[in-house]
Amino acid sequence: VRNSIIGADAAWSDLLGSLVSRGLTDVQLIVADGMTAIQNTCERNYPQAKFQRCLVHINRNIMGKVRVSDRKEVASDFKGIHHAINFKEGEEKIQTFIEKWEKRYPRMTHSLQNTENLLTFTQFPKAIRGTIYSTNIIESFNKQLKRKTKIKEQFPNKEALDRFLVTQMVDYNNKKTGRAHKGFKQCQDTLDSMF
């Protein structure tokens, strides 16, 4: 396990180091799943950035630890955290969730209690919170890439695959250039003053 953690840390270090060397330096928020290697590497390369754990990943992990009969209610209770007005209310909602479910699911609630960076999104304007508490944007793009590569079925070599993927990424960037993601335009002044 230790070797795989070191390997993951090295892979993320290479990737982020490459981004830094190409000029990506002004990163203010990183949203990721619970991989320790990602967080450690992000903190080294972007010490100024805030870190948000993906609440959708947390929710999936929780659903895997509860009975099917309880999933709908547990999911509804957990989603209440997404709508916290501020950090304090978010902490209260997490505590209420834990108190409600800890007798039935002590391991799940203990794990949640020890999870950091769940409420970073509350430090940002309300207009963009629905976008920044999960990795859904990048996961959606990854699914799109998967669908497009499946259509091709086969690539003659790695370079052909690389060229195809870069073309898809360039097309995506061209479509999105100049467009603000949902909520960002209406709070641009606030974001500018924050950073």
Does 109 have pLDDT greater than 90?
Answer: yes
**Which of these ranges, 65-69, 81-85, 140-144, 149-153, has the smallest mean pLDDT?**
149-153
Taking a C-beta distance cutoff of 8 angstroms, is the pair 39, 115 a contact? Answer: no
d(CA 85, CA 75): 19
Give the model confidence (pLDDT) of 111-127 as tens digits: 999 999 999 999 999 98
The alpha helices in the chain, defined as continuous H runs, are 2-21, 36-45, 55-63, 68-82, 87-101, 106-113, 126-132, 136-152, 158-176, 188-194
- Mean pLDDT in residue range 126-138: 85
**What is the signed CA dihedral for 67, 70, 71, 75, rounded to 10 degrees?**
-140
pLDDT at 115: 92
> Which residues lie below 8 Å from residue 33, measured CB to CB, with a gap of 6+?
53, 54, 57, 135
Q: Counting every residue, how long is the chain?
A: 195
Residue 20: which of 58, 48, 55, 46 has the closest Cα? 46
d(CA 112, CA 97): 10
d(CA 16, CA 165): 19
pLDDT at 8: 65
pLDDT at 118: 94
- Residue 180 CA to chain centroid, in angstroms? 19
pLDDT at 3: 46
Extract the tokens encoding 26. 């002004």
Band (pLDDT 50/70/90 cuts) for residue 24 is confident
DSSP class of residue 122 equals G
Taking a C-beta distance cutoff of 8 angstroms, is the pair 148, 105 a contact? Answer: no
Does 186 have pLDDT greater than 90?
Answer: no
Give the model confidence (pLDDT) of 62-101 as tens digits: 999 999 999 999 999 999 999 999 999 999 999 999 999 9
pLDDT at 58: 93
Band (pLDDT 50/70/90 cuts) for residue 6 is low
pLDDT at 2: 47
Domain ranges of the chain: 1-53, 55-134, 136-183
- Mean pLDDT in residue range 19-45: 84
